[in-house]
Amino acid sequence: MKYLLLLSFCFLFLQGKAQNSGSSNEPDSIKKTVMATYYHRKFEGRRTTSGVKYRAKKLTAAHRTLPMGTLITVTNPDNGKSVVVKVNDRGPFSKKLAIDLSESAAKQIGIFRQGIAKVSLSYTLE
């Protein structure tokens, strides 16, 4: 009888582990509220850290630590507008700022001409 109980317990334990391990393969979404700015027009055509030229009309961004190519959803909490940008550069180099947006991305979420604005970032690391 003891062996039957032990066997049942082991079966239930392993079944629970198998169910939990299936969900751990899905990447977790990371959400942060940070301060953002955008590239000045003088950077148009200059090479980014990834090697491509900065283009104000593209939806790109600079981040200090995220891997190149990471897609980030940037949302302006003041108006609810959001845009998806691709990390292709390093920066900003001020500790107060977490992300530099391209001019087009800043315009789409309504922070262009503000200089600095609070935004929400959402991304997944795989």
Is 41 part of any domain? yes
Q: What is the pTM of this model?
A: 0.78
Average pLDDT over residues 112-123: 96
Tokens at 119, concatenated = 């935004």
Give pLDDT, residue 26: 59
Render pLDDT for 17-58 as a digit per residue (tens, 0 to 9). 444 444 555 568 999 999 999 999 999 999 999 999 999 999
Tokens at 32, concatenated = 């942060």
Is 91 part of any domain? yes
Q: What is the CATH number of the domain that holds 67?
A: 2.40.40.10
Is 94 part of any domain? yes
Is 53 part of any domain? yes
Is 22 part of any domain? no
DSSP 8-state class, residue 26: S
Average pLDDT over residues 112-125: 95
Other C-beta atoms closer than 10 Å to the C-beta of 112 total 15
Give pLDDT, residue 7: 46
Domain containing 102: what range?
A: 29-124
Tokens at 74, concatenated = 């940037």
Closest CA to 78 of 122, 123, 116, 41: 116
Is 1 part of any domain? no
The amino acid at residue 117 is A
Give pLDDT, residue 103: 97
Domain count, the chain: 1
Q: How confident is the model at residue 102 (pLDDT cuts 50, 70, 90)?
A: very high
Distance CA 105, CA 59 (A): 5
Is 17 part of any domain? no
Is 49 part of any domain? yes
Q: How confident is the model at residue 126 (pLDDT cuts 50, 70, 90)?
A: confident
